[in-house]
Amino acid sequence: MDYDPNDIVDMPEDNNKPSQKPIERIIVEKEVRPKRNFFWRLFSFLFVCISVLANIVILLVIVGVIAVLTGAGSKTKSVDSEVIAAGPKTQRIAVISVDGLIDDRQYDFLHSQLKAAREDKLVKGVIIRVNSPGGMVSSSDRIYNEILKYRDDTNKPAIAFMQGIAASGGYYTSVACDKIIAEPTVITGSIGVIMNYFVVEGLLKEKAGISPIVIKSGPHKDWPSPYTQPTEEQLNYLQKKVIAPAYKRFVYVVNQGRGDLSIDDVLRLADGSIYSAGEAVDEKLIDAIGYLDDALKMIYELAGIDAAEVIEYKRTFSLTEFLNAKAGFNFSFSRKMLNELSTPELMYLWQMNQ
């Protein structure tokens, strides 16, 4: 008999054989499942990297715009003003801060504040709020001079308002004002000079095995030397050449600023001693004891006004200063750092360990 492929032949069913349909389904599902591609993974990685970089660029642009809008790095406007007491808007009293260690940065801030007060024609007088243990001799003297110049150039009053500590360089700057008022808990005085420097002789020789060689043109050229312990002759030399002139300058400005004190009075008080507010009043180092409201009454009287809007100057945000401050935390021991540590610093500063 001829075989016809179209004929259907019933085959006997074998119950022992597994069904073929599940196998066919499994094979089909395996073939259509998507495979992870290497190029797709590479594309995803690159996409994430580009997104991160784009976000960083956008953030930097935003920070730059904010820095420009807030005057970062600008020399034309380095202070903002804030109203701290309401009053007639036709006239103002400006509160100017000398807060913390007195250094070049402190001087720059005070200079900016006094400049703003000069340019504001509504300002009738200034209150110099002092809370400082003092600091560098040169910076203290420049602040003193700036306050005197403001008084002379504008013919407007300036009073010092002491808070917390107003000692040494803090007192030095205060005597440039017409009057001085202090809170009851103030520590002031400490009229005198101090100089510190490090001697690294033992560190270099014993710890590092280094013996410095100094070649100089004269016997006094390296006095004081950070590489050797000072002799009595060297200490006397420094006392005469460095300490005495700065001390005489301090005595002079106190005598000029405190008209009720004679030179003998100032010399008696200028032994480095600190004074409470009550002692300072008794010794005529300050004029009165009180708080900010009392300082305002005093400046109103000197300015010939009954009331005013009171403003206080604040530093503007500076991205440059912020980044510099952050960078300042980096510590590295170098020759420059060694030189800075060993260089003498002449200070009008009240130090607890002096």
Residues annotated as part of the active site? 168, 221
3-state helix, strand, coil in the chain (%, to 5): 45, 20, 35
* Residues with Cβ within 8 Å of residue 115, at least 6 apart in sequence: none
Residue 172 contacts residue 253 (beta carbons within 8 Å):
yes
Residue 277 contacts residue 188 (beta carbons within 8 Å):
yes
Q: DSSP 3-state assignment of 52?
A: helix
- In the block, tokens 């700065």 appear at 246
Q: What is the DSSP string of 222-284?
A: TPSPTTSPPPHHHHHHHIIIIIHHHHHHHHHHHHHH-TT--HHHHHHH-SS-EEEHHHHHHTT
**Whole-number Cα distances in Å, 5 to 1, 48, 249:** 13, 60, 126
Six token digits for residue 80:
């903002």
Residue 289 contacts residue 185 (beta carbons within 8 Å):
no
